[in-house]
Structure 1
Amino acid sequence: MEAAEALFSQQGFRAVSMRQIASAAGVQVGSITYHFESKDGLLLSIYRHHCVPMNERRIELMREAERIENTNQRLEAIVRAFVLPALSSNSDLVGGGARFARLRAKMSAEGNEAVREVIATTFDDTSHALIDAIGRCLPDLAREVIVWRCHFLLGALYYTLINPERVDRLSRGDAHGNDPEEVLDQLVAATVGALKA
């Protein structure tokens, strides 16, 4: 899984063969198909490895956030609950770190049907939970508007995770794209502002 994740994050899903993965992992192709059935199954296992704990943490934090009585504070806490687990770890646990963020960004941009299915299987339930929680805070905002603004949140999150140095460069060093607290605060503020606009 680690070899495949590294290759997919560098070259994309389509460009990597099972033979390349086997070579990088030091195993036979048959071993990969025995354990994962296919390259699609291997990708799904990689996503589940990183995303199951991330999504569990998101749901846990969103449940806590929904107990907040003040609607504005609740909305901010809900968005924060969704973003925080994606930023909170550079390990192989919750969030998966920078390499998995690069992989997710590449997979999202590739447009491959198998990849789209893996992403939907892994993230749709949590994304629906976010959209529903925001809808309860902003009942007058149409669901399709919430969907668009959450979609923009994901784009900003991916781009920030894979290209943090751009923030440093454009701010001439006054802001730091690798500062997870600053990234969290800025993404939450931008998303809440967009949702309330």
Structure 2
Amino acid sequence: MARKPAREKAAARNPNLREAILCAAEELFSINGFNAVSVRDIAQAAGGNPGSVTYHFKTKGGLLLEIYRRHCGPMNRRRAELLVEARRVRDVQDRLEAIVRAYVLPAFSSGSDLAGGGARFTRLRAVMSAEGNEVANRIIAQTFDDTSHAFIDAIRESLPHIPRTEIVWRSHFLLGALYYTLVTPERVSRLSRGGADGADMANAIEQLVRATVASFQAPGPDANSSRAIDARPVEPSLSAGRVVRGGAKDRGHA
């Protein structure tokens, strides 16, 4: 049987090195993105060598996938559990709030139980989404698409008059708000001049849930367009003192 190289033996003898590599990679990816970080950078930050990274994770993409799995596996399972409970709520308004809370709450879990991953993993997710790397995009889709479809479907059941495409857009905005709330809580404290504590996660969750529910319940753009046409300013006609609304004769003066 072929003998393992010495560096692989060393990596196998040090189980803490695997955890160190994961932590170092998560930190580096969250700051610099996926493309700019090399296997050598990760190994150096973890106190190992490049062979240690490939021994445990094969590739840089395999390492990123494991980071997503360790945080998002527990988070998605918790979201699924809460979603089952939320869909049992009879009152439509309460049910919609429960569905949104089921999505938001697990993302605020502390990194100690891995679910959610806290601000660092949320920052990493935001950086990965913005970077548009093909490997990262595939991992994101593999990790979140099934859960996202489940929530979109549940919201549509509660709001059948809202087109699914509208719900997709508003879910997209929720994700952006979730990223920003977790990554920059100090902005709330600063702009409120101390009136609100951005680090108060319980309040942040409630604020985010209320704002998102209102967003989902808002009328679609077609309804808004109709109101916008009705609300166009009334201008006097140049002839016979007639009043014209939006270029057509006002019925009261026809």
Is 1:181 the counterpart of 2:202? The answer is: yes
Secondary structure of 1:189's partner?
Answer: helix
Aligned-partner residue type, residue 73 of structure 2: V
Secondary structure of 1:68's partner?
Answer: coil
Distance (whole Å) between structure 2 residues aligned to residue 83 and residue 111 of structure 1: 24
For the 8 Å contact 1:88–1:180, the answer to whether it is kept is: no
| 5+ residue gaps, structure 1 | none
Larger radius of gyration: 2
The C-alpha deviation readout for 1:139-180, integer Å capped at 9, x for no partner, is 111111000000000000001111110000111111121111
Distance (whole Å) between structure 2 residues aligned to residue 112 and residue 14 of structure 1: 7
Moved more, 56-65 or 18-27: 18-27
Is 1:25 the counterpart of 2:46? The answer is: yes
Aligned-partner residue type, residue 45 of structure 2: A
For the 8 Å contact 1:51–1:94, the answer to whether it is kept is: yes
Secondary structure of 1:41's partner?
Answer: helix
Tell me which residue corresponds to 1:152. Answer: 173
Distance (whole Å) between structure 1 residues aligned to residue 111 and residue 69 of structure 2: 16
Distance (whole Å) between structure 1 residues aligned to residue 57 and residue 111 of structure 2: 25
Is 1:38 the counterpart of 2:59? The answer is: yes
Distance (whole Å) between structure 1 residues aligned to residue 191 and residue 120 of structure 2: 23
Q: Which has the higher helix share?
A: 1
Is 1:141 the counterpart of 2:162? The answer is: yes
Secondary structure of 2:112's partner?
Answer: coil
RMSD (Å) for aligned C-alpha atoms: 1.0
Distance (whole Å) between structure 1 residues aligned to residue 92 and residue 40 of structure 2: 53
Distance (whole Å) between structure 2 residues aligned to residue 41 and residue 90 of structure 1: 21
Aligned-partner residue type, residue 81 of structure 2: E
Tell me which residue corresponds to 1:103. Answer: 124
Is 1:171 the counterpart of 2:192? The answer is: yes
Distance (whole Å) between structure 1 residues aligned to residue 97 and residue 210 of structure 2: 8
Alignment counterpart, residue 145 of structure 2, candidates 116, 124, 128: 124
Identity within the alignment, %: 65
Ranked by relative contact order (alpha carbons within 8 Å, sequence separation 6 or more), the top structure is: 1
Distance (whole Å) between structure 2 residues aligned to residue 97 and residue 111 of structure 1: 22
With over 3 angstroms needed to count, the CA separation of the structure-2 counterparts of 1:86 and 1:130, relative to structure 1, is: same
Residue 111 (structure 1) shift: 1.1
Distance (whole Å) between structure 2 residues aligned to residue 126 and residue 173 of structure 1: 36
Q: 4+ runs of 1 displaced by more than 4 Å?
A: none
The C-alpha deviation readout for 1:20-79, integer Å capped at 9, x for no partner, is 001111222122112212111100100000000000000000100000000110000000
Distance (whole Å) between structure 2 residues aligned to residue 91 and residue 153 of structure 1: 25
Residue 92 (structure 1) shift: 5.0
Distance (whole Å) between structure 2 residues aligned to residue 60 and residue 66 of structure 1: 10
Tell me which residue corresponds to 2:32. Answer: 11
Distance (whole Å) between structure 1 residues aligned to residue 209 and residue 180 of structure 2: 15
| Aligned residues between the structures | 197
Moved more, 179-188 or 92-101: 92-101
Distance (whole Å) between structure 1 residues aligned to residue 77 and residue 113 of structure 2: 15
Distance (whole Å) between structure 1 residues aligned to residue 113 and residue 68 of structure 2: 11
Q: TM-score normalized by structure 1?
A: 0.97
Distance (whole Å) between structure 2 residues aligned to residue 110 and residue 176 of structure 1: 30
